[in-house]
Amino acid sequence: MALRLSLALTVLSYVVAVLSSTANYETKRACSATGNLALAVATKLQSSYFNSTLGYYQGNIAWTDANTVEDIYNLMSYTNVSTWRNLVYQTQLGQLGVTHLDLWDIFFGGSYDDAGWALLMFIRIRDFIGPADPNFQNFETSTYQVYDYIAEEWTSDCGGGVWWSKARTYKNTITNALFMHVSAAMYLRHKDKPGYLQNAVNAWNWLSSSGLRDSDNLWFDGLTKCQVSDTTKWTYNQGVIASGLGVLYSATGNKTYLTEAEKTLDAVVAHMTVKGFLKESCDDATHSTCDEDQLIFKGVFTKHLQYYIDQAGDAARAKYGIFLTVQSVGVYLYATGSDDYPGSVWYARNNGGSMFSPRSMASGLEAHIAAAKYGICY
């Protein structure tokens, strides 16, 4: 613990120094120590929580499992390791992706946001294995199928937008932010199909006129009967909005999308942090009230900030790199227990409120990967 405290304080002191002089901003492209930390967390996550026989992480939550598998491949892409190259084939979702039997409605049960998370995972897997892999075309086919499964739920109700679930009672930020992101991503990989790009543009136009964004440029959760019915502001909604706009910028070259994304990113930094560390509304150092889904939200935000910088480039890295490093330090200094398992509270030392699960561990992993790729090296 003494070593951890000493290291973290050193990093935080460096962050303060950098903040005071932008001329000293470090532009290294690799951060091996943070990357190694991410690898260590991933190793514990896989050995402690992944059931390779049943094909899921402890708790068996489809959308967080899809995110966690995506995280592992994101890590391998950054570090150039191949330790878990075959992980996807051990998962239920991955097995369905390889066979592409078009049983998506049975698997997702009409949860279109779950389908969006799975599609993000398939896109990551597709890119990682490359066209020379014998299963590349299988995953490619699955991306088409899952995409169409989601796209069919775009209706004219409330002026447009994809439904959250088969019940068709709720249109929300995350499902449509995911639809924007995956539509633009599909277009970048299939430029002969301009319908993907049009869908991405339509998704953003609907979101921006939906009433789901507040005066601070943060996004509420969703609409019932076309009226804002859940005013909760979760970090992951903000992150996927930003990454989707980043991919849309790459698809169009329209810098307006970057401006819109950074309005939200800046609002998160200003309004959803404590002393610079991300804090979910359900987080509390003494008594958190988060459910299992919410334990991964902050990590999803950091991952999608990484994805945003992937598209937006050096200016975004210079602007948000310090912020990503601070999140990694929070995970390391405050969230990680004596057994080296990251918990859910990043903003303060745990006093009984931090929660530990595969979701909190994946969340911490995401923070470390993003910081390793774009933060300050330590």
pLDDT tens digit string along 14-62? 455 444 444 334 434 447 889 999 999 999 999 999 999 999 999 999 9
Which pLDDT value is given to residue 9?
52
Q: Residue 289 has what DSSP assignment?
A: -
Do residues 372 and 34 make contact, with C-beta atoms less than 8 angstroms apart? yes
Over pLDDT 90: what percentage of the chain? 90
Structure tokens at 106: 């049975």
Over pLDDT 70: what percentage of the chain? 92
Nearest Cα neighbor of 362 from 79, 58, 12, 122 is: 58
- pLDDT digits 0-9 by tens, 89-146: 999 999 999 999 999 999 999 999 999 999 999 999 999 999 999 999 999 999 999 9
Beta bridge partners of 219: 213
- pLDDT digits 0-9 by tens, 185-237: 999 999 999 999 999 999 999 999 999 999 999 999 999 999 999 999 999 99
Location of structure tokens 């391998």: 76
Which class for 86: exposed (0-12), middle (13-18), buried (19 or more C-beta within 10 A)? exposed
Per-residue pLDDT at 274 exceeds 70: yes
Residues 6+ apart with CB under 8 A from 10: 378
Which class for 327: exposed (0-12), middle (13-18), buried (19 or more C-beta within 10 A)? buried
d(CA 356, CA 358): 7
Region 278-284 average pLDDT: 98
Per-residue pLDDT at 12 exceeds 90: no
d(CA 221, CA 218): 10
Region 330-337 average pLDDT: 96
Residues 6+ apart with CB under 8 A from 370: 302, 303, 305, 306, 324, 327, 328
pTM over 0.85: yes
Per-residue pLDDT at 3 exceeds 90: no
d(CA 154, CA 161): 5
Region 297-321 average pLDDT: 97
Which pLDDT value is given to residue 26?
44
Beta bridge partners of 51: 56
Which pLDDT value is given to residue 8?
53
Which pLDDT value is given to residue 21?
40
d(CA 346, CA 6): 17
Which pLDDT value is given to residue 17?
46
d(CA 103, CA 178): 21
Which pLDDT value is given to residue 13?
53
3-state SS, residue 222: strand
Do residues 164 and 155 make contact, with C-beta atoms less than 8 angstroms apart? no
Which pLDDT value is given to residue 4?
58
Structure tokens at 150: 């989601």
Helix (H) or strand (E) holding 7: helix 2-20
Per-residue pLDDT at 155 exceeds 60: yes
Q: Residue 335 has what DSSP assignment?
A: I
Nearest Cα neighbor of 153 from 114, 192, 103, 205 is: 114
d(CA 204, CA 60): 32
d(CA 45, CA 357): 9
Nearest Cα neighbor of 300 from 316, 278, 281 is: 278
φ/ψ of residue 150, rounded to 5: -75, -45
Instruction: State the chain's mean pLDDT as an integer.
Output: 93
Which pLDDT value is given to residue 290?
98
